[in-house]
Every structure is written in C-alpha cells, then in structure tokens.
Structure 1
C-alpha cells in the first residue's frame, strides 16, 4: 500500500530515487565484469521499471477523457512501451558481454606452432565502387602488408576504372571486375567469390585498413567448425560529424563506440553477433551452405548473411579488438547516406525468409535481430519533443494524475535506473546527452525512411557512403536546422504563455513546472542538434600522426643535410621543429627506415617547418602509408569520463557559433595532382617488401 505522496515527507518521496542512485553508485564496488553484479543491475532496473509501469497503467491514463485526449495519451503510452521493449533487449545484450582476447591469444599460439606455409590460404576482397585513390591506396597497401604468408589480395571494382586496374597490377594486388552492378555490393562480392578459391574469405570496405596482425588474431577462431564468421569492430582514424561539428574531437569518442565495444560483445554472448560488412572473415564452406555467396535480399547484406548462416548452424564470433581502421562519415550528407542504408536494410530483413521472423531461428536470435530499435528510438525522441507542445498549447496531457511528488517517486527513478544501468553495463561507452542529441538529429531524416520501408520494403537502391574527397566535407542540413529552431521557439513560447495566469492555457497550473523542466531539457537537446546541422569542413585533408623521429632535410645542391625533429606527419606532409630552410624551396625528406620523399617547404617560422610532400608514387611513400596505417599508430581509443564529456557538451551552448555555413566548396584534396586522367598515365613501382611470389602471381593473373 503506497502512502499519500501529496502529504508524505520529502525524504519518503525521494526514497526510491535515493535508493536507485545508491545502488548504481555501489555496483562498481562489486566488480562490473562479474555476471552476478551485471545480473543484479538488470534485475534492479527491471524492478524500478515494473513499479513505474504499475503506476503508469493504474494512475496516468485518462480513461474518462474525450476521445482526443484518450487517444493522445494511449498513443504516448504505446510508444513508451515500444521503447521499453527495445530497452529490455539492450539490457539483455549488455548482460552477457564477452571478451574473446584470451581465445585470440590461444589461437595465435596454435598458429605459431605450425609452419607458416601450412597456415590456411585467405582471399582478401576489397569491395569498391567510386572511392578515390587517396582512400583506396591505404586499404590496398595495408592489405598487402598483412602478416600472413598465404594471402591473396583482390580489389573487386564495380566502377570498372582503368587507373585502378593499373594501380593494383603495380602494387601486386589482383583486380576483378564484372560487366554489370547487379545487387550492388553483395553482387560485387559474390562475383569475386566465383573467381577466387581460398578456404577463407576476408572482406574489407574500400576505406578500412587492416592492421598487420589482423589475420593472426582472428584465424584461430576457425578451429571451431561452428564458427562461420569472425568480425572485429569498425574503428576510425578521423572524426565523425558529432565530434567535428560540436568541436568535441578530444572530449567525446565517436558515436559508434557504444555499439562496437558494448552492444556487439553483448550480442556475442548470446551467439547473436553479426557481420558488419567490413573487417570480417568468412569460412567458404559456410558460404557454400547457403548457396555460395552473400544473400541479396537486403541492402544490408552483412546482417542478412549472419542470419542465413545461423539457420545452417554457423555462428558469427566477435573479437573486440581494433584490428582495422577506416573513415567515419566525413560530412553530414555522407552520415545520412550511411544511416539511411542501415535503417532501410535492417527493416527489409523483417520481410525475408532468412530474417528474424523466418524459420529455423532460436528465440534469442529472433529477439536480437528484430530491427525495431531504429523505429522505436525515432518515435520516442520525436514524441518527447512534441508531447509538451501539445500539452502547452492545447491542454491535452500525455498522462494524467501526475504531481511533482509522484513524478519524483515513480518517473525520475525509472529514468535514472535505465540511464545509469546502461552507463554501468556499457563500460563507459555510453554518453546519454550525446546519444540524445545525435538520436534527435538523425530522427528527422530517418523516421520517414523507416516508415516508407515498412510500407515498401523492397526496390531501394544501394547508396555507397561517399569517402575521401568525394565526401566534400562540411554541409548544412537546412531542413533539420529550421525544424530544431522552430521546435525550440515553440517550446519557449508555450512555457512563456503558461507562465502567467492571465495567458495560461493549461488548466492544471501545478503541472507547468514539471513540463517546464521537460521543455527546457528539450531546448538544450534541440540547440545542440541545431549546432550539429552546421557542418564544419575538416581542417586537414589527411589525418596526422605523432612523429618524433629525427628527420634529415636535403636541400637542392646542398652537400649536407639539415637535421630536424619530427612533430607530426601525414601522407601529405610533415611538421618539424627546426630551421635552415626557406618557404617554397624544393627539398628531399629522409625518414628513418622508410627512405626519401620529395616535397616543398610550405612554412618555416618560429622554429617550425612544414613540408608538403609532392604526392609522387614511390616505394618510400608506400612504406610511409604502411607505417602510419597498419602498425597501430592510430590504435589509441579515446577514453573520457562521463562527467567530463557531459560538461563539455553543455559548455558548447555558451560558446556556440550559430552562423550559417557558406555553400561547401569541397574538402581540400589530399593529392590534387592525382585525378583520373593523371592516374592513367602514371607508372607504379612495386615496393621491394611486396615483391613476394604470391603478389607477383596475382599481378600476372590480373
């Protein structure tokens, strides 16, 4: 029997919130990696949510209200229950998070006991359509540098580009093309599977560069014949739009860390991890069991592949180690191309025989592969923005019977338990404010896409995410910006109107303070989402890496070199601490262990030298790419405390630059002398370390 909250002491009213907060604060003391602790957290959250739902059903539904009020309240309740259903799936996944690194160690040790020539052969397929050379060269050279003796690297080019064929032949990679583009990426890979024969197939997108130990860390899993695919996370060497546009590059990890470092290890605990389209290896016999290739019924062929293999008894195993690095979307438009494809493809699988509603799936696989999170998140976030406005302007509440005391007793602990539980179980990868802002931002564009796909699941074209110079950088989401601004103004206007008795629309004045708090939270989220709409182009054409080695600079006709200390380096240039050179003069830079690269002094002042490399193809340039992108120099993952990331995000409101960007002029080209016409006339040199019998055989075959 609950007390009368309106007359209860303040401490009693706040007791559930205090108890929830205390439990969440004490939980880490018992070890968050212990199954019992994680189970206790999930059980505690379920208890708090259960109490909330009892109150919600028994107290807050206006059963005697007019049909408009009742319909609105029931709609809000249905959307809330939909969101709680997907939250339950998320908590279930986080409950069984795995760490497969010890198994990878054991597999690598078993390989070390065998003659490397007896290691199984691997065909590595790089799927490409229209990516530029500054993206592709890193992936191709990185693949060729993998520490694996029996490796065949193939570039499957659906763009049928002569310059790429010549580049592959020069570097030692095989080149595959086909006469049409049927079934897009899935069709491209399936065609490549028909002309390759190794028992294992690694697939990489055009922008993902494998680290040298990628195969040594993953191939040992295939000693278990039930493993059909091994997947590693998508990690990035650039900043995503949230980090770039809100100036959070060093204050917030990229938005995919929570998925790849918390959700996917959790799904792996239920044998429900899935192929993510790149950075994976597949057993060829598993592919043969489902017809010899990737299923083409969805534009997210990767997830569908894992589902099809599950029906045949093959599991996708997930290794949470950063063994490949690629490009996060480099512009807002590229971001939406990617997310719309994911949302469409995930929705499409509902309508396929191999999907979660098809035959032959275990109950947990049906549950975890339901793509409902895309729709529930969009609906929840849009409802949270619109419901206060409906109440403030039309006096139609989303729930009734609510007082400040009951909200503190029931509602606030529920929100606190869910958010706190995800933060704890997510291992520091979940940032609530950032998730709310990005979710709100993308919902404006994704909700129509998802609804359209539900009514028309098939016939949607596969759109490649623009990469490199094709991504153009920056951008301005005009529609979302004005939607956010309009909702902010409407919320503030509604609060102002209801702040005074003479103009108040809401009959229950006691509810205005609670709605005011809700509305002000929405205003903060909308303001940050509006800032996110103002795309800021990347300041650098190439990612820089620290470089502290001594560097020798040879000037024209000089008999001795000028020595300098490295600061940072990229594929397109190097920054040095030193002097003795003049701006504009041509130089030759010698890097320890890599060789010499021609360049020109771009700046020289205050003891700092900037040298732009000329971009000419050379063995030294290839070695530089391999050194920068395949040896873990970009493997440091950003770890930021929740309080610091939240504080920094909120501080952006005070330092916001809300000026509309000018029309994008395109991202500065990393290598402006390397357009298609130029490429067709170039001669490529194969670096000595790549001149192995396998690569030369591939070059001849292509």
Structure 2
C-alpha cells in the first residue's frame, strides 16, 4: 500500500504539491485570523511529518558502502529524535493554559524570600534586594533573606542598611542548592520565594502568586524569567528591536503548555514554594550542578500540583556576552543530564505518562548540538566526498519534504505566538551547537569538566570588540567547506558535467545551513558594551533647577545611573550639581551632574545621578522596574527580523566599523608625520 502511495505521488507530483501548498497556506491564514482552531493546523502538520518520517525510513536510507550506511543511519536517527520531540511539542502546545489569579481574600501565609548570591556585583544585588523591600504584602508576614555564599562584609553591611536578614553558611557544599537548603533550616515561613541575585521582583509578585496556595496540595508556582537587557543574539546581531530574548518563547509559551499536564518546570528563580512540599523531598535537590528541574519534578512526583502564572513578575539580566551565554548553557546542559542520571523521569515513581514524556523531551533537547552538527556535516560530506546520507529523486524530496517543512514552520509560528520562528531557532541552535555537543557527550560518558564551577557573570562592561574564538574558528572553517562544496557543483555544471538530484538537494541544504553558519560567526564577534546600567525609554515630565534658573522638560530615557531629558530652553554646559524634580519620585529632587549636551541639539541633556539617598534610590528602582508588562504585544518578533534585513544590518555595521578603523589609522598616521616634522625642525 505504501508503494502505491509513493507511485501516485511520483506520477502526480505537480498536482499533489500544488494542492498541498494551497491547503497549508489556507489553514495558516484561517488559523491566523482565528477563523478555525489551531488544532487543525497541528493535526495536518502531524500527518505530513509522519508521512515524511515513514518515507525516509522505507525509501531513502543508503545501504551501499560503509560510510554511506553509517551517516545515513546517523542522520535518520537524529531526524527521528526530532520527530519524537515535535510530537511532544504539539501535544504540549495543543491547549496552553492562561490561569486567572485567585483573590487572596485575607489569605496571607508567612513568606520567606531567598536571594542567594555568590560573587555577583553589589550594584546588581542591591537592586534586587531593594525591590524585595517594596513588595506589596503585610510586613509582619514577610521576611527577606540574602544568602551570601561569598561571605562578603559588604553584603552583610548592605543587608543591615536595608533591614533584611543575612545568612552565611560555614561551608559551600552543593553550591546554590546547598545554600537554599541551609536557609530553609534557618527560617520558618510557610511559603518560600527563590529569586536569583539579578532578578528584580515587581511589587505585585506575591499578590499574583500566593493565592494559588489556597488550593489543596500546591507545591510551587512559577512565573516567567524575563530580561531587561538584550541577550548576545539581540545585541551582537543588531536585532534588539526586531526579536525578543532567546528564552522568551520557552519561559512564556512552553511553560503555559506544560502547565496543563502539571509539568511546569522550576527554572531556578521567580518561584514560590510550599515549605511542606520542599520538606517532602528533603529540600532542594542536590547532586547536580543545576538544582531547579529536579526539584520541581520531584515535588510533582510526590503528588503536588504546580502552576504557571503567565505574567512578568520579575525581570533580570540575561547573559551579556556570547562567551558567558555558552558557559551558562554548558552548565544547564551538564546539569540536566546529571539530574537525569540520578532521577530518571521514565522510572521515578509518581509521574504521569505525559509528565515523563515532557521531562524526557526536555533532557533530549540538550543533545541538540550533536543533532545540529549532523545536519551541518551531511551536505558537506556529500558535496566534497560523495558520502550519501539520503537517497531520493529531487521530485520526491520536494513532494514529501517541502509541504512538511512549510507546514511545520507555519505551525511553529502560530504555536510560538510570534515569540520565535524557525529561522531564529536555526540560528540559536547552530551558534551553540559545537559547545553543547561537546558538553552533552562529555557528561553522558562521565567525563568531568576541568573548569571550576562559577555562576554566569553579569554586569559586564567592555569598550573593545571581543571574539569567541572557538565558535568563530569552527564556523569559519564550516563556511569555507560549504562554499567550496557548492562551488564544486557549480563548476561541474558550467563545464557540462551531469548534475544529479543529490547534487542539487545538498547544494540547497548547504545554503540553508549557511544562514546559521554566517550568523553564528557574526554573533561570536562581541560588540562593546559601554553602559553600566540599562536605559529604559519613558516620557516623564521633569524640572531641572540650576542656580536660580528652572528648565521645564521631559525625560526620554532613564536608568539607575542617569537620564536623558529634552528641555524647552537650550541648556548651557554647567559644572555645578543641579537638581532634578520628577513628580513620580516622591523623594525628589535628585542631585545630578550634566555630562553631555549635543552641539547640534542644545535642548537635549544627559546627566548622571549624584549621591542618591537610600530613599531616593528605592524610589528610582521602583519607578524603573515596577511597571506593568504587556505580554500580548511585547516579547514578540517584529518587522525586519528576517534573513535579508538582519544580514544587511550586520554587513552595513561591519563596513562602518572598517571605515571608522581606517579613519582612525589615517589620523594616527597624519599625527605621527606631523610630530616627526616638528621633531626634525
């Protein structure tokens, strides 16, 4: 029967392909405008992907030649793994939940907020601790603890100034999990909040989460991790305004899907636990370098319920350069594999079938580096060494693969709610693949990392371009091999040699891979980060008092270190400290120092804050970070996020950098010549 289907597709390929593409785009448009359910496009895509994976197994594997067989089976294995993960993804995203926040109605259990720290800068930690002090909750029911594994006197002094509890344990066993467990033994709150040192909570954090614990046997409530600074992909690829943070899709959309199966993942921060639930598993899970996923899974396995709140209740710092992001993901990758070895989700008692499959899929995800490298090397091996990993006519490949590829891409766009697309997923995975492939292999076979454990560096400032040489070198080599292979086929075509379906297929495959390769090279070139604090666009009326002169205007952007303002009158460059009145800050005026006035626009002024009191600093932090987030319109893909626009932006930036460098070199050369003449005279 299957052979008859293939025979039909080969003989009526044009009609079949045309009808399929028409149906796919029709379903996509109808789904996009909410005329039909998203379930229709999911079902249709599942059918096409299942047809493809069956066709691949029965009709495209290559058995002649040892190398052909090895790479053919290897490619199919990873495609089947991808198919399995896609099926779990579609089930997970079938009907994601958006929960309504329960009213407290006088329900106010005691709450302990834990902020573990190791070596984070005091500025970053202070911001988070200050934000904790203005959380809206009865003061007598709330205790804030800074858990200092660095045993720093300055952190102890900061805790004293803010009136919060300071805990430093005698040893540092089990890293963050051990730190949290020690704090559990020194506190008594019925509920426990965990916040990373850089995560700034909003004042409504507890109002939006505590109410869920009125229900029976609730283990934990998770809110998304969101970020207020651009990640390395946004920053290095000049796409801060075009794409959301790389983690937003998982943190917002996928967590909402997992919530339906009581499989919400604890992600290490922005979480509130029942102390009873933590005690039932012996505290935060230890034995892995990442305590989070295992802790949440063990609580769910004990029969406790978990909930996901689809609201941004805290925001923090994303990894600020690509090297640090790779270090962070290496730790997550190894930690998840370590946890799976200790607590295998397939055999641990108490989990449902879907919980097991969701956690299994989450562990398999961390092997994507190997999968992506197989996809990158396959066309290169064919074009350069004629190693075949798939055998098919071009017509059959288009008939079976193209509808599946288009349908899955459009379905992913709908299910991701425009927070990611296939193009950017390809870039993310390609860029991290070499590092994480090595991490996954080493951890799976039990090779210990030679590097000492450390947390991800945050608050990085740099005035130079830095290159992540490992990724840059690897993908430069892949770029050369890919271009050489493609050029080889083009050359053979122009000298009149026969070009096979395999040649054409692998050329286009290599071209697709070049998208990820080129942007991986771009993202590995770190752009300088000059700002100590992130700026946030605002429109706030203000007054600047300089001596007896008052300038009325409005603030255009603001940060913890200063602001930019537009005034009605031109502002002179002044040396003395001025006073800034902002109605939204009760402790105004703030002392400030003018640092820059553009020569072409004397009405615009930049200034730095000077000697803020603790009360002024608190008001400033609340003004900047305690804003309502719009998840419907924010954290999404925007215009000019596609390949062409992104590529042109980056090429233009590289050309401008070269031009600026040449101008500086010429200026240095001219100055050197002048100095030489002056000396000779």
The residue that corresponds to 2:634 in the other structure is: 637
The residue that corresponds to 1:19 in the other structure is: 23
Name which of structure 1's ranges 567-576 and 534-543 shifts more when overlaid on structure 2: 534-543
The superposition leaves residues 378-415 of structure 1 with CA deviations (integer Å, 9 ceiling, x where unpaired) of: 22311121001110111121111x22211111011122
SS of residue matched to 2:195: strand
The residue that corresponds to 1:303 in the other structure is: 293
In structure 2, the gaps of 5 or more residues are: 661-681
Does the CA-based 8 Å contact 2:200-2:625 persist in structure 1?
yes
SS of residue matched to 2:595: strand
Give 1:262-661 correspondences, 5 Å limit: 262-291=253-282, 293-353=283-343, 355-370=345-360, 371-400=362-391, 402-456=392-446, 462-469=453-460, 475-501=466-492, 509-555=500-546, 558-559=547-548, 561-578=550-567, 579-592=570-583, 593-605=586-598, 606=601, 607-632=603-628, 637-641=634-638, 644-652=641-649, 654-655=651-652, 657=654
The superposition leaves residues 81-129 of structure 1 with CA deviations (integer Å, 9 ceiling, x where unpaired) of: 11211122212211131101x2x0xx22xx2x32xxx611110011111
Does the CA-based 8 Å contact 1:277-1:301 persist in structure 2?
yes
Cα deviation for residue 502 of structure 1 reads 8.4
Give 1:129-208 correspondences, 5 Å limit: 129-149=118-138, 150-208=141-199
Cα deviation for residue 11 of structure 1 reads 3.0
Question: Relative to 1, partners in 2 of residues 1:502 and 1:408: Cα closer, same or farther, differing over 3 Å?
Answer: closer
CA distance in 2, matches of 1:538, 1:506: 52
Does the CA-based 8 Å contact 1:82-1:376 persist in structure 2?
no
Name which of structure 1's ranges 190-199 and 540-549 shifts more when overlaid on structure 2: 540-549
Cα deviation for residue 54 of structure 1 reads 2.6
The superposition leaves residues 232-255 of structure 1 with CA deviations (integer Å, 9 ceiling, x where unpaired) of: 001111110000000001011111
Question: Relative to 1, partners in 2 of residues 1:491 and 1:633: Cα closer, same or farther, differing over 3 Å?
Answer: closer
The superposition leaves residues 555-585 of structure 1 with CA deviations (integer Å, 9 ceiling, x where unpaired) of: 3xx2454433222211111211123442433
* 2:234 pairs with 1:238: no
Give 1:89-128 correspondences, 5 Å limit: 89-100=88-99, 102=100, 104=101, 107-108=102-103, 111=104, 113-114=105-106, 119-128=108-117
Does the CA-based 8 Å contact 2:571-2:605 persist in structure 1?
no
Does the CA-based 8 Å contact 1:473-1:537 persist in structure 2?
yes
CA distance in 1, matches of 2:18, 2:367: 30
Does the CA-based 8 Å contact 1:125-1:201 persist in structure 2?
yes
Cα deviation for residue 507 of structure 1 reads 7.6
The residue that corresponds to 2:246 in the other structure is: 255
CA distance in 2, matches of 1:77, 1:12: 25
The residue that corresponds to 2:672 in the other structure is: none
SS of residue matched to 2:597: strand
SS of residue matched to 1:282: strand
In structure 1, the gaps of 5 or more residues are: 663-702
The superposition leaves residues 425-469 of structure 1 with CA deviations (integer Å, 9 ceiling, x where unpaired) of: 221122211111111000111110111111117788543111114
Question: Relative to 1, partners in 2 of residues 1:394 and 1:644: Cα closer, same or farther, differing over 3 Å?
Answer: closer
CA distance in 1, matches of 2:553, 2:544: 7
CA distance in 1, matches of 2:498, 2:650: 33
SS of residue matched to 2:96: coil
Paired residues in the alignment total: 643
Does the CA-based 8 Å contact 2:303-2:350 persist in structure 1?
no
Cα deviation for residue 656 of structure 1 reads 5.2
CA RMSD between the two structures: 2.6
Cα deviation for residue 31 of structure 1 reads 5.2
Does the CA-based 8 Å contact 1:251-1:648 persist in structure 2?
no
TM-score in terms of structure 1 length: 0.86
1:213 to 191, 204, 207: 204
Cα deviation for residue 9 of structure 1 reads 6.1
Cα deviation for residue 375 of structure 1 reads 4.1
CA distance in 1, matches of 2:463, 2:248: 24
Q: More relative contact order in 1 or in 2 (CA 8 Å, sep 6+)?
A: 1
TM-score in terms of structure 2 length: 0.89
Cα deviation for residue 229 of structure 1 reads 0.3
Question: Relative to 1, partners in 2 of residues 1:600 and 1:256: Cα closer, same or farther, differing over 3 Å?
Answer: same
SS of residue matched to 1:95: coil
CA distance in 1, matches of 2:87, 2:446: 28
SS of residue matched to 1:567: strand
CA distance in 2, matches of 1:253, 1:83: 24
Cα deviation for residue 30 of structure 1 reads 4.5
CA distance in 1, matches of 2:366, 2:596: 51
CA distance in 2, matches of 1:8, 1:159: 69
